[in-house]
Amino acid sequence: MKVVLNQDVKGLGKKLQIVEVSEGYARNFLLPKKIANIADNRSLNEAKTKQEAIKYKKDLEFEEAKKNKEKIEKTYIEFKEKVGTGSRLFGSVTEKEISEKLKQKLNIDVNKKKIVLKEQIKQLGNYIADVKLHEGVVAKLKIVVVGM
């Protein structure tokens, strides 16, 4: 019996996927718990429409990420920090501060977990951080730290 899955099922398939299962498994488990629907014309068309909508949304997000990558790579972010002896900062510049500065300067909202620093920023100088905007889209952000 063919069914359209309403949610991911481990060992069976992903949401909106059409799978072949035994009739007993479908009638006794999948259908009563509303995990799947019988694959008739209506449910097949509905699944196809939802898949197309998801694909369209992902394509839009990918294009937006590419535009944001261009914006980020054209500019830099500057931090003015208090400095101790040997041009060392009091504290450090964190991913959260970088995320907030991106929001202020470029109006790009990036989660702090998507910002990857190769080394901690604890001294004056120039740094580069990777900003993961989307799957397969990573921007190189230039960071300049100057003393006050």
What are the φ and ψ backbone dihedral angles of 3, each rounded to 5 degrees? -135, 155
**Could you give the 3-state DSSP secondary structure of residue 79?**
strand
Tens digit of pLDDT for each residue in 69-88? 999 999 999 999 888 888 88
Residues 44 and 11 in one domain: yes
* Alpha-carbon span 65 to 132, nearest angstrom: 9
Residues 58 and 95 in one domain: no
Residues 25 and 73 in one domain: no
Residues 37 and 98 in one domain: no
Residues of the chain with pLDDT > 90, as a percent, come to 66
Examine the pLDDT at 23 and tell me if it is beyond 90: yes
Rounded to whole angstroms, what are the CA distances from 51 to 34, 36, 38, 133? 19, 16, 17, 23
Domain tally, the chain: 2
Residues 72 and 12 in one domain: no
Put simply, whether the predicted model's pTM sits higher than 0.85 gets the answer: no
| CATH number for position 132 | 3.10.430.100
Supply the range of the domain harboring residue 35. 2-62
Tens digit of pLDDT for each residue in 99-130? 999 999 989 899 999 999 988 888 898 999 99
> Taking phi first (over 0 means left), then psi (-120 to 50 degrees means alpha), and beta for anything else, what does residue 142 get?
beta
Residues 38 and 81 in one domain: no
Domain boundary among 15, 40, 62: 62
Residues 53 and 126 in one domain: no
- What separation, in Å, do the N-terminal and C-terminal C-alpha atoms of the chain show? 71
DSSP for residue 30? I
Residues 85 and 128 in one domain: yes
- What is the structure's pLDDT at 129? 92
Residue range 20-38: average pLDDT? 93
Residues 90 and 106 in one domain: yes
* Alpha-carbon span 115 to 50, nearest angstrom: 32
